[in-house]
Structure 1
């Protein structure tokens, strides 16, 4: 939990993918996140949070459905969306926050 808080409070944007192993759309989102990571490199951090293994974190951010994607920077939520999201849009959103 400390490392999560340290990450989201940094000045580098962090894309958090709240997912579940049993979630079909979450499996579709994974390769999209890989693409985004390859495109933006170290300019942003991408982490995945399993809601079943981290229920208090999911509760803290009121995650009602998976996948839910959130972008944090300096501890603030800059963007949030549920459902599968395309790589181009995620890349654009992250670059806006760099």
Structure 2
């Protein structure tokens, strides 16, 4: 499963060739790439941008790891809070884990 994931997101494979999508309203700092997917059949779209932030790497990492701040940067949270459903440890270090999240129900 990991091999399929990595081969799907890297540009080194001749099987999964990415093509750059040029758009009028997108600046030079943003890249949009597409590739065809055989299983499941369809198109994979990847968009990325970069920017300079006037903070240390450690501060940025702490901000991104803080579940209470997630609604400030995660577009999928739609401005709402996220609920941690499951933590899967990925090593000995306490902070190394994969989180399964869902949008918190707001009444």
Q: TM-score range by the shorter chain?
A: under 0.3
Q: Which has more radius of gyration?
A: 2
What's the TM-score, normalizing by structure 1?
0.23
Q: Which has the higher strand share?
A: 2
Structure of higher RCO (CA pairs closer than 8 Å, 6+ residues apart): 1
The structure in which a higher percent of residues are helix is 1
TM-score, length-normalised on structure 2? 0.22
